Amino acid sequence: MKDTAAANIGKFEHPGITAKGEKRAHVALNDPQTLWFNTGTLCNITCANCYIESSPDNDRLVYITADEVREYLDQLEDRNWGVREIAFTGGEPFMNPAMIDMARVSLAAGYDVLILTNAMLPMMRKRVKEGLVALNAEFPGKLTLRISIDHHQAENHDKERGTGTFEKTLVGMRWLQSESIPMAVAGRTMWNESDSESRAGFAALYAREGFAIDALNAGQTVLFPEMDESVEVPEITTECWGILNKSPNDVMCASSRMVVKRKGAARPSVLACTLLPYDPEFEMGETLKEAERAVPLNHPHCSKFCVLGGASCSA
């Protein structure tokens, strides 16, 4: 039995059926658009509610290499997935010494590249800044950095990420803006604000700073629901698609997979979801071919974040 919060005891135990004996919803990989790489779970900060438990000490997922990324890009071509975007997440991706090389390999292969970052010190090192400037010049319009800003006000952001982190992130964003490197933002909807209130707050921030980011564009300002596993959530059955007027094609695992490398592993492996790096049920094998099977929505995050929350980590 998997580790399930008390509010959901009895649920999310069987991949085929729910606690009530109903047929659990599955999602097929029918239109792959994004292949994610976790660059490693090490991060320069420790957030209060990190989706992936990243910290300066968590090395459960180790640094992936440019050669390993290249191998999966070759698999993409062999499998003819039709992916348009290669995305990198962490931890803090710029702590991985191969980050610029991994981005270059992906851009040179013709993909758009998205890098999730807190835009703090790891990104602001001289070698990294020079690499980003060079990539942006060589592949104009193909590279985007999505900056983690939990809230548009420093007080709330710093409660999550630590005192002074809001201003440090803005320093990095100001540099990116000065170099005309495209940016997006990832925030959170955990502040008792409506979507429109949050977007208005981010719009005001962008206006004050002169950032070329659209607060109303859900791809440029992504607002993620908070994933609190202590809250009871419903299981998603096959009947739910009609009841909710939603399609399984809209769920993140219909269009993406994530590659990780576990500490001590000889090779990387492919996961169904960016949000569930430690649950063995969502590990699909070492190859993209193995990862083409359907994913059972057998975790609270599947319900709250993807189906009910309507969120996606991709642009």
46 contact partners, CB below 8 Å, separation of at least 6: 54, 55, 56, 162
Tokens of 310: 């309507």
Residues 245-295 have pLDDT tens digits of 999 999 999 999 999 999 999 999 999 999 899 999 999 999 999 999 999
> Does residue 145 register a pLDDT over 80?
yes
- Judged against a pLDDT cut of 90, whether residue 192 lies above it is answered with no
In this predicted structure, what is the pLDDT of residue 44? 95
Please state, in angstroms and rounded to a whole number, the distance separating the CA atoms of residues 129 and 136. 11
Separation of alpha carbons 278 and 170, rounded Å: 32
Give the pLDDT confidence of 106-135 residue by residue, as tens digits. Answer: 999 999 999 999 999 999 999 999 999 999
**Residues 30-47, mean pLDDT to the nearest whole number:** 96
Helix (H, G, I), strand (E, B) or coil at 230: coil
Domains of the chain: 30-230+248-295 (3.20.20.70)
CA atoms within 13 A on the CB side of 5: 11
Which amino acid makes up residue 136?
N
pLDDT of 107: 98
Segment (H or E) for 162? none
Per DSSP, what are the bridge partners of residue 112? 85
Strand order across the beta sheet in which 283-285 lies: 221-224, 183-188, 143-148, 112-117, 85-89, 34-38, 256-260, 269-271, 283-285
**In the predicted model, what is the mean pLDDT of residues 126-153?**
98
Say yes or no to pLDDT of 71 above 90. Answer: yes
196-203, long-range: CB < 8 A, 24+ apart? 198/152, 198/223, 199/223, 201/151, 201/152, 201/153, 202/149, 202/152
pLDDT reported for residue 6? 65
Contacts of 266 (CB under 8 A, 6+ apart): none
Mode of pairing for the β-strands spanning 283-285 and 34-38: unpaired
The alpha helices in 162-280, defined as continuous H runs, are: 165-178, 195-209, 240-244
pLDDT value at residue 1: 37
CA angle 46, 52, 57 (to 5 degrees): 45
CA–CA gap between residue 114 and residue 181 (Å, rounded): 12
